[in-house]
Amino acid sequence: MGTYFDTFIENFIRGIPNLLTALAIFVVSLYAARGLSRVVRRVLERRKAVEGVTHLLADLTRVSVIAVGAITALQRFFDVTAFLAGLGIIGFTVGFALQDVMKNFAAGVILLIQQPFQVDEVIGTAGFEGTVLRIDMRSTELKALDGRIVSIPNAEILAHPIVNYTRAERRRVELPVGVGYAADTDAARRAVLEAIRQVPGFVAEPAPMVGFSNFGDSALELIAYFWIDAAQTNPLAAKDAALSLVKEALEEENIEIPFFPHTAYMPAPVKKRTPKR
């Protein structure tokens, strides 16, 4: 009996350094987990992320660091490789079954951290354009321009280009114009240029461009490019105003805006009947 007790005492004394080291590792992991969790929380709060997501990611960070610390501490006493291999097999099985859910979850985390768009901003992505209503961990909800409510998986959004219209301070408007072949091209160019300068929200820089682009069937095709302040007006309203202003300017200069005939809508010619003899 004394021999077993002496052996236990001897092994215990011999294992004290490992015990102290493991304890130190675990304590350090606790402090590190708390510090990293606070850092994640502050970063997400500065980016105005959703409160629930902020708590979730902060807790995930804390738990992950503590788990790594606990495994490292246990490694001082026995080989945890087999244990981790078993956990890996279980995790792989669950992950394979929930791969779509996890993919959207990971994409949602990336979107909330990088913030290419926020709620109430107008964006275009994955073939849809509209106002962002809600961003959660699985999908993003848009109100399309035609009023439809669209729920797009986050992974689908992350896989496509994202156009943020709200954050674009300036937008370029393209305006095609047709003038008659008999028109003075310099006068037409000047008239269009002066007209678009009067569009509400027009900005002088970048400078507008007006030039002829093609010989059409019944008109010389001219294209005007100009920039607007997106905070003052939107491209549709600017284009509408530009069309009216350009029409008035060309009429004042007696420059013809040709009519484009559509033969599909023209009535068929009436055939004259030849009187019978």
Q: Kindly tell me if the per-residue pLDDT of 266 is higher than 50.
A: no
Class of domain 170-252 (CATH, top level): alpha beta
Taking residues 94-108, report their average pLDDT.
73
- Residue 245 confidence (pLDDT): 95
Under CATH, to which class is 116-164 assigned? mainly beta
Q: Name 65's Cβ contacts closer than 8 Å, sequence gap at least 6.
A: 29, 32, 33, 36, 37
Counted residue by residue, the chain has a size of 277
Closest CA to 67 of 119, 18, 32, 108: 32
Q: How much of the chain, in percent, has pLDDT values that exceed 90?
A: 40
CA pair distance 73, 19, nearest whole angstrom: 9
| Cis ω before 206 (30° cut-off from 0) | yes
pLDDT of residue 267: 47
Structure confidence by residue, pLDDT tens digits, 26-41: 888 888 989 998 988 8
Q: Specify the pLDDT at position 14.
A: 67
**Same CATH fold assignment for domains 2-97 and 170-252:** no
Q: What's this model's pTM, rounded to 2 decimal places? A: 0.58
Please spell the DSSP secondary structure of 54-84, one letter per residue. HHHHHHHHHHHHHHHHHHHHHTTTS--HHHH
DSSP at 204: S
pLDDT higher than 50, residue 159: yes
pLDDT (0 to 100) of residue 46: 81
Question: May I ask the CATH architecture of the domain 2-97?
Answer: Orthogonal Bundle (1.10)
Write down the pLDDT at residue 8: 58
Segments making up each domain of the chain, as ranges: 2-97, 116-164, 170-252
